[in-house]
Amino acid sequence: MDDIRFAVLGTGGIGRRTLEVSQHKDGLTAVAACDRNGVAVDHDGLDVGELLEATEGNIASGPDEASDSTPATPTDDYASDGGAAAVEGGGVKQHGDEAGIVASSQGEPTETPIDDIIAESDTIDAVLLALPNLEHDFIPRVAERFAEADYEGVLIDVLKRSRVIGMLDDREDLLKESGITFVCGAGATPGFLTGAAALAAQSFVEVEEVEIWWGVGLKSGYEDNRGTVREDIAHLDGYDIEQAREMSEEEIEALIDDHDGVLEFHDMEHADDVLLERAGICDAEDVHVGGVLDVRSDEKPTTTTVSVTGTTFDGETGTNTFELDDATSMEANVNGPALGYLKAGVRNNRAGHYGVFGPADLMPGF
């Protein structure tokens, strides 16, 4: 496949790590990136090393992930610029007014970062939406803006919540008309682990249950992943999205203290369920996602495992399992697959396949 020229919207943990991982992959050239204050574009290829160095130090705590539930009450800025202020997290304590991308020698200040990228998108093959999804329909609305500008290429996100998939499906005609291949839920879960479940299901003629159980040790990556932690908290008993969004950093620290640094989650609303149902593999209600997050250790507190139980054509019941190594980090397991699915998206886009695709519909490139 020819060189893929891609952009990243958002330079929080996921945006930055994706840029970093792309340096170790063939055929990927980062040509644009933006955050809430600035944009960097170089059609010959960004100096990713310089950009990472410039943004690493100056980005403070706060929601920074492409989460669909994490942050914040939309601000006036957000409303008036159609999302620009949301690029780095919108209204809660966050990267806020700190320099971000404008600290890079390649960065230019802007009040309309997303529009600036859209204006450059003619020669961009793929755009990773590493944005906080302030409201559940935020990422779908960003996709709409690309479609309205007649963008022809790949949009890819690492959103988590099941309910967002339907909102993308509602916009599928618009995306198809524009020539957009939208790859949704392309991180680890949903994403890599959904794809693994789809493969593990192939032994069976009927799938009874899919169990995704993840383990993450985050000590050294905590600062970069505060957004993910906040989002995960929304899945704890007694918490919801609004509460998690409103919590101060101090309240989050206190909650983590109460749990001795280890948070356990069950029955998370993760889109693996609707994405597996969409791919015809099983009913959404038969998919369960949970896991353990240790914010005080780099060791995974549990082995990440996907178990698919089903019945074979000859009447046997079995469970196929897929395990990640305890030594591979969340960063490797989210951003590697995101780039793999980005490559698959471009392959499909170049073949004229437009619309909304999930990680169980595509085999990621390497």
12 is annotated as contributing to ligand binding: yes
At 275, give phi and psi (nearest 5°). Answer: -70, -35
Which of 37, 333, 335, 348 touches ligand IKT (CB under 6 A)? 333
311 is annotated as contributing to ligand binding: no
Give the CA distances from residue 188 to residues 7, 94, 317, in Å, rounded to whole numbers and listed in that order: 20, 24, 27
Residue 189 binding ligand IKT, by CB under 6 A: yes
Contact assessment for residue 10 and residue 37, using Cβ atoms and an 8 Å cutoff: no
Q: Compare residues 40 and 200 and give the one whose CB is closer to ligand IKT.
A: 200
Residue 187 binding ligand IKT, by CB under 6 A: yes
Size of the site for ligand IKT (CB under 6 A): 17
What is the contact mask toward ligand IKT in residues 297 to 316, using x (rule: CB under 6 A)? ---x---x------------
Contact assessment for residue 78 and residue 134, using Cβ atoms and an 8 Å cutoff: yes
Residue 213 binding ligand IKT, by CB under 6 A: no
What strands, in cross-sheet order, belong to the sheet with 317-323?
Answer: 262-265, 287-294, 206-217, 305-311, 317-323
Residues marked active site are found at 160, 231, 235
Residue type, 129: L
14 is annotated as contributing to ligand binding: yes
Give the CA distances from residue 339 to residues 8, 82, 105, 182, in Å, rounded to whole numbers and listed in that order: 11, 27, 25, 14
Residue 334 binding ligand IKT, by CB under 6 A: yes
332/271 Cα distance (integer angstroms): 20
CB of 293 to ligand IKT, least distance (A): 7
310 is annotated as contributing to ligand binding: no
13 is annotated as contributing to ligand binding: yes
Residue 165 binding ligand IKT, by CB under 6 A: no
Residue type, 153: G
Residue 162 binding ligand IKT, by CB under 6 A: no
CB of 189 to ligand IKT, least distance (A): 5
Token match 């309910």: residue?
163
CB of 302 to ligand IKT, least distance (A): 9
CB of 323 to ligand IKT, least distance (A): 9
Strand residue runs (E) in 87-217: 107-109, 126-129, 153-157, 180-183, 206-217
Residue ranges in contact with ligand IKT by CB under 6 A: 187-189, 191, 214-216, 228, 232, 291, 300, 304, 324, 328, 330, 333-334
Binding residues: 10-14, 227-228
